[in-house]
A and B are shown apart, each in its own frame.
Chain A
Amino acid sequence: MDSVTKRYPDGTVAVDRLSLEIPDRSITVLVGPSGCGKTTTLRMINRMVEPSEGRILLDGADIQEQPVNTLRRSMGYVIQNAGLFPHRTIVDNIATVPRLLGWGRNKARARAAELMERVGLDASLAKRYPYQLSGGQQQRVGVARALAADPPVLLMDEPFSAVDPVVRKGLQDELLRIQDELGKTVVFVTHDIDEAVKLGTMVAVLRTGGRLAQYAPPAELLSAPADGFVEDFLGADRGIRRLSFFASGGLRLQKSPIVSVDSTAEQIAARVTPGVPYLLVTDPDGRPLGWGEPDELTAGSPDPDRLLPHGRPFEYGSESLRAALDGAVLSPTGWAVAVDGTGRVVGVVSQQAIGEAIRSAHAGGRSAAGTEAGAEAGVAG
């Protein structure tokens, strides 16, 4: 997008000289408060809104040069509330764009069935009508419909804002999974900064009046907000949220203070570790049960009901420091439990150790942010 402006006849400026380079095959999120022009920006990409000034280039070609409906058919379009056709069955809704492109009915339906599977919809829903589906299911259909003709570009306008938080999280995870598989160029509009940070490879924060406040990867956004507006918009706990971008793989785990529930008193005694006031008790498969005091545990066989809760275990390596810290904060012992992909305990880690990991991660982040700040200062000077 090259210095694009949208000015309405009444003089309102919705988007003001916006320039964005949207990377291929990744998710770019436009985020901002209402009235910041994010939806207008998105709708200019498929020419639902025509810019007053500036150009939008797609793979180097001005989008004005293509017939408008050809352009739109090459871009998947997902909107809030899905916007399904109420008079068509789910399968026919999904087959819309292939049919517009002149595919035969059977081929289009076969493609639709394939997409239903891809977005996690049961095949039995194919002959249903939209009103028979829940909001989350409708939104999945909306995504499937947008993907039906395999467009290289996917435009999503607050697609998940009308569903409840649990369903929204499911849809977000699903989108990330589909994106991993298909590698579309996604432009995603939301007013929810958490959604932006979670989904975006790049995040563009827009401010009221359609000005770009910051365009950066989410980790950089959290570590180095460009100004007070971005910082306010990110919210108070951006420090904690930023931990999402640090892997937990760097944590040094303690492996000794772990005992199985069927251990003997001698085995338990052998596991008592200096500096660790508790022992983690696991079931015979190695899944965490809870924390016990060494004295009580050696006194008899461990009673699972009397153990202290272990908080939410985090998956070592794949989950972030944020999950690890969360686990440690939730546990009354202040120790977090690390598990592998199958839920078996691989070690435990204290709040203190997590704190050290955060400090060293921040030190790395700060030096990177420092050079950027320096570069900006250089430009300003």
Chain B
Amino acid sequence: MNVLHFVNAFFSDGAHWQGYDGIPTRLAEHIRYSLLALVLAAAIGLPVGLLTGHYGRGGNTLALIATAGRALPSFGLLVLMFILLGFGMVPVMIPLVVLAVPPILVTTYEAVRSVDPSPVDAARGMGMGESRILFHVELPVALPLILGGLRSAAIQIVSTATIAAYVSLGGLGRYIIDGLYQRDYEKVAGGAALVAVLALATLAVFWAVARAAVSPGVRRGG
């Protein structure tokens, strides 16, 4: 009854590497769900966070929304959406996006607000427009923190996207859910290991993005 043994058995079975239930297919599905959810959450969280951070208003409302979002159980929301909307991608995306928006929104807001006011004052005094100040001064300086928010959102999405399998979609959650039904614990352990590896890979991707996108001038400590 050794977990490592299960994992090993799962990966050494050649049948697990091909077909519609093979690892490459499930992994690709999982990545697709996660990316879609992250993009949607970022599309909501980043602009709102940047604008509220820049104008320094709406912090309390944000905190309220974020807390409410965090308090919603993803699984419960999934089932509710499935009942309301039926089979499809939308009921899966809603809980994932609700899960990911709060960390993106709150860290972006805090990151922009915590930018040293003196370069911003200097930028304004030199005749930069507000949007230029936001995108050319505040955003690059706040970027390490903003990426941190995106990173924790992405990791939460990757681990939570397993619930998609519960409403008959694919992804790595298939192995865990099917394995549990079939009492095939090799499958469960293998699926869980794959999710963990994908989460670590996500970390690596964010590390690489941060190296490429963050200016060396603000990288210290970031």
Please report the C-alpha to C-alpha distance between residue A155 and residue B119 in the assembled complex, in whole angstroms: 16
Is A85 located at the chain interface by the 8 A CB criterion? yes
| Chain A residues with CB below 8 A from B143, complex form | 87
Within 8 A of B (CB), among A65-79: 68-73, 77, 79
Known contacts A130-B217, A131-B217; is-contact A85 B128 (Cβ 8 Å): no
Chain B 73-97, CB-CB to A under 8 Å as 1, else 0, gives 0000000000000000000000000
Are A88 and B217 in contact (CB-based, < 8 A)? yes
Say yes or no: A87-B127 contact (C-beta < 8 A), given A77-B122, A79-B121, A80-B118: no
Residue A89 CB within 8 A of the other chain: yes
Check A246 for interface membership: any CB of B closer than 8 A.
Answer: no
B123: A residues at CB distance < 8 A: 83, 85, 96
Best-buried of A43, A88, A146 by chain B (most CB within 10 Å): A88
Say yes or no: is B211 at the interface (Cβ < 8 Å to chain A).
no
Please, how many angstroms separate the alpha-carbon atoms of A89 and B137 in the complex?
Answer: 13
Residue B126, interface by CB 8 Å: yes
Chain A residue contacts of B121, Cβ below 8 A: 48, 79, 83
Docked complex: A34-49 residues within 8 A CB-CB of B: 43, 46, 48
CB contacts under 8 Å to A, within B117-141, are 118-129, 132, 137, 140-141
Residue count of chain A within 8 Å CB distance of chain B:
31
Contacts of A84 in B (CB 8 A): 119, 122
Interface string of B98-131 (1 = CB under 8 A from A): 0000000000000000001011111111111100
Q: A82-B118, A84-B119 known; A89 and B125 CB under 8 Å?
A: no
* 4 nearest A-B residue pairs (beta carbon): A129-B217, A83-B122, A72-B127, A77-B125
> Contacts A69-B129, A85-B122 given; 20 further ones with Cβ under 8 A?
A46-B125, A71-B127, A72-B124, A72-B125, A77-B126, A79-B121, A81-B118, A83-B119, A83-B122, A84-B122, A85-B141, A87-B214, A88-B215, A96-B123, A96-B126, A96-B128, A100-B128, A100-B132, A129-B217, A131-B220
